[in-house]
A and B are shown apart, each in its own frame.
Chain A
Amino acid sequence: DVKVTQSSRYLVKRTGEKVFLECVQDMDHENMFWYRQDPGLGLRLIYFSYDVKMKEKGDIPEGYSVSREKKERFSLILESASTNQTSMYLCASRTSADTYGYTFGSGTRLTVV
């Protein structure tokens, strides 16, 4: 069964900490994404990557950075966590857009205190 695996289901971090969220996919997809999901809002794109070492800003990149050193791994970094970054973070991968949707990980519920 193809999978996107996120390293943590739940995280609690303090304001100002540097936070790393890891994501691995086993489908050999070129495209990987980081979304955040908040109640009443749709998923919002933070960053995405079309290829190794390549990254593009999404709709809400402020306060975040990403790293893609290997095809299967896409990391999201919160440089200095703030309380407004408390959210559900979802990693996803995708093949061509015209045949299939996103494969999401189980999500990381991050709480910044």
Chain B
Amino acid sequence: SQKIEQNSEALNIQEGKTATLTCNYTNYSPAYLQWYRQDPGRGPVFLLLIRENEKEKRKERLKVTFDTTLKQSLFHITASQPADSATYLCALDSNTGGFKTIFGAGTRLFVKA
């Protein structure tokens, strides 16, 4: 069955360091991969979308890589700040067209001052 996995354990890092979150998937052929930020009790907020033929995408302090051979995406936050503390979700859009998206359960990030 289609599966998307994010580390269920929280990630704790020190302010100023780079946070790296992982998203792995199996039995899926994604056309696009997305990353979202979600604060407690709130809806997810879209951050970045990367296409299957793109290896890397950047937005300010954020960088996403997408390796369709390894079936993995890495999400990096450089110079992390306490305000970056949140849960980060990855999501995959199918290449069969339409909006067939699967979401990961998310990884909680804590950035300590």
Bound pair (A, B): yes
Residues of chain A at the chain B interface (Cβ within 8 Å): 4, 31, 33, 35, 40-45, 48, 90, 92, 94, 97-107, 109
Contact of A99 among B43, B49, B102, B103 (CB under 8 A): B49
Q: Does B4 contact A (CB under 8 A)?
A: yes
* Chain B interface helix/strand/loop/mixed: strand
- Least distance between B60 CB and chain A CB atoms (Å): 16
Docked Cα-Cα span, A94 to B105, in Å, equals 20
CB atoms of B99 and A107 under 8 A apart: no
Docked Cα-Cα span, A102 to B46, in Å, equals 6
> Which residues of chain B are near A100, meaning CB under 8 Å?
46, 49
CB atoms of B91 and A101 under 8 A apart: yes
- Least distance between A31 CB and chain B CB atoms (Å): 6
Q: List 14 A-B contacts (CB under 8 A).
A: A42-B103, A42-B104, A45-B101, A90-B44, A97-B32, A97-B98, A100-B46, A102-B44, A102-B46, A103-B46, A105-B43, A106-B43, A107-B41, A107-B43
Q: Which B31-70 residues have a C-beta within 8 angstroms of A? A: 31-32, 34, 36, 41-47, 49, 51
Docked Cα-Cα span, A43 to B46, in Å, equals 14
Q: Among A35, A100, A104, which residue has the most Cβ atoms of chain B within 10 A?
A: A104
Contact of A97 among B4, B46, B99 (CB under 8 A): B99
Docked Cα-Cα span, A94 to B46, in Å, equals 11
Extra contacts besides A42-B91, A104-B45, A106-B42 (9): CB < 8 Å: A41-B105, A90-B43, A94-B99, A98-B31, A101-B47, A101-B49, A102-B34, A104-B43, A104-B46
